[in-house]
Amino acid sequence: MTNIFRVIILVFTIGFAGIVYANSIENPRADEIYNLLDSGHFISDEDNRKLLDEYKSTLSVDDIIRQKLYIRLDCWSLPANTAEEMKAAVSYADQYLQIYNQPIPSLIYTDLQYCKTWYLHMQGKNDGLLTELDTAINHAYLLEDPRLIADGRSIRGSVLSYLGNFTAALEDLITAQNLYESLNLSYWANVNLGELASSYRRFGDAQTALKYQIKLEKNYLENQQFYEANQTNNQIALSLEKLERYDEALQRNRKARDFWLTIKDPIAAANTSVSIAGNLISLNRLDEADEILQQAQKIITPDNDSSYNYMNLFLAEVHFKQNKYEQAIIEITKAEQSFNANNNIRGLNQTLQLKSKIYQALQQWQQAFEALESFVESHISQDIQVFSERNAEMQARFNTNKIQNENESLIQRDKDKERQLDIMQRNENMQIIIISLVAIILVIVSIFAYRQVIRKQIFRRLALTDELTKLANRRDTYAQGHQFLKAAKQSAKPFSIISFDADHFKMVNDTFGHDLGDKVLIKLASISASMMRETDVVGRVGGEEFLILLPNIDKTKAIEIANRLIETIADYDWAQISPNLRQTVSAGVASYSNEEDLSPLLLKADKALYSAKAAGRNCVKAE
């Protein structure tokens, strides 16, 4: 079984663990099989197929609930070792999406959407994928199913991380992590934590990633989950490589390759060989790397896009360092085409840099310049894409049609109940029964309504509150900012914002640890919130970044408030948190001046904040 298919096995089980059978048809063997498939443990292709076939054979035609469960299980467990198999899997999902397109949303329709987008992602077809995932996740919220919400945001976080949008990826994965832990789903919390750690690594914080990964590996080994432990070992190797601990990374990758060979998975072993070659290149053991890559070429095909991309990139790097420039050009061209086809910006940027160096070595200056220019354009394009995706994500999350649809649904339900009561009241001989039924219905509706209110409050708190500081999170802060800006435009009253962040905060984390860093962020949140009016909004919009919204406050007054804020923070006795700690902040102020949208105002505040940083920090600048 390929490494890709193992990932799919993990994800398909994520989609079902929260399902509760509300089924009057007894079928203990089917339920036993389902619970086994949902256990989260490794199951081979052959055993998985046998179990699914047996599950299907036990179902009666009128067992609609389990029939739908089978379709969902089957979608996630389809063969996906080649491009053709993955294309067939997408067609399978499309077929049942057409069949179950009413009502929308529904559990089966939403899960099939997840299934389809995952297979498309595995094919490298990421264009438009986030839009489909946004729709499916919105459906999960409408269904008020915490498990489906967690699954969707975990999958979307994985896709965003692959595409290089790490800020949005971390937001999704952290939300999913909180939901999994709240639901006491420890296994899937561990799976999601592994992806969260990978995103921290890609984001540049390999030390944090390594801490999480070592903890995960220990948990898996203690539970004898050797397959999951080996996957985590692969991620540990990548984090060690980021930290330039190449010898340790090499040992980890060789251990992973031995595991794949033990369970007779040559493709996964070849994929790991590519990682081993990368470590050897970093250690300047070029001949060994070349030999391993030549062996991997016999197994890895273009269908295995990720390994194929990096195999060619590493071959090009080896041959470049061996002064075999013409051969390096052939291989770097293959890598560039493949990274482009899969929309892998991170890999493409590495490729374009190396391509420019190869052409420089060949003294082909025009081609070297063009490759370097493409590298710069790729970075700019990535920045524009990330900004666009964040705007689209914000608009999708605050779709006001949701409220209208909910109201229409409630009205329709009320009309249905009225018709039912009219029918019952026509039967005079059943008045006592009717009264009893109405009383029971009212009790059930009251209990249901109460539970709905509680669940909505929980979801709102999860969706709009920053878990650490208890301030408004970025999504809620920006949403309220849009409302304040709209009010300022309509009333011609002033509106100002203050963007501030902690000075040298990375040094605080590195010196004192992340736990103390969290305490600093909590205290900054407490100080800033205590200094503002009830009508103001203080939100945490990034790691150590905060945003204050000041309706009916002009620039002069906003600058005074910002100066009081930084003075209060600078004068605070930080020794209460740690004896050697001293913390300051820098702030940027911007005021509304005919901006049509919040984004330009935010950019002005960011520019002012950068000016404050450049001026030596612990000060206020305004735009």
Q: Which residues are catalytic?
A: 544
Q: What is the rounded distance in angstroms from the CA atom of residue 360 to the CA atom of residue 407?
A: 65
Ranges of beta strands (E only) in 472-531 are: 495-502
Token pair listed for 399: 């779709």
Size (the chain), residues: 623
Q: What is the rounded distance in angstroms from the CA atom of residue 431 to the CA atom of residue 436?
A: 9
Q: Which residues of 490-528 are buried (b: 16+ CB within 10 A; e: fewer)?
A: eeeebbbbbbbbbbebeebbeebeeeebebbbebbbeeb
Token pair listed for 225: 């989950």
Q: What is the rounded distance in angstroms from the CA atom of residue 297 to the CA atom of residue 318?
A: 14
- Per the CB < 8 A criterion, the answer to whether 591 and 496 are in contact is yes
- Per the CB < 8 A criterion, the answer to whether 229 and 238 are in contact is no
Token pair listed for 151: 């699954």
3-state secondary structure 315-348: HHHHHHHCCCHHHHHHHHHHHHHHHHHHCCHHHH
Token pair listed for 143: 């269904």
- Per the CB < 8 A criterion, the answer to whether 335 and 316 are in contact is yes
- Per the CB < 8 A criterion, the answer to whether 122 and 86 are in contact is yes
- Per the CB < 8 A criterion, the answer to whether 302 and 308 are in contact is yes
Cβ neighbours around 228 below 10 Å, total: 24
SS3 content of the chain, % helix, strand, coil (to 5): 75, 5, 20
Token pair listed for 544: 């150590």
Q: What is the rounded distance in angstroms from the CA atom of residue 292 to the CA atom of residue 279?
A: 11
**Bridge partner list, 540:** 546
How far, in Å, are 120, 256, 313 from residue 307 at the CA level?
17, 15, 10
The continuous run of DSSP H or E covering 438 comes out as helix 431-464
Which residue in the block uniquely carries the two structure tokens 């915490």? 146
CA-wise closest residue to 2 among 44, 39, 37: 44
CA-wise closest residue to 463 among 528, 397, 519: 397
Helix (H, G, I), strand (E, B) or coil at 256: helix
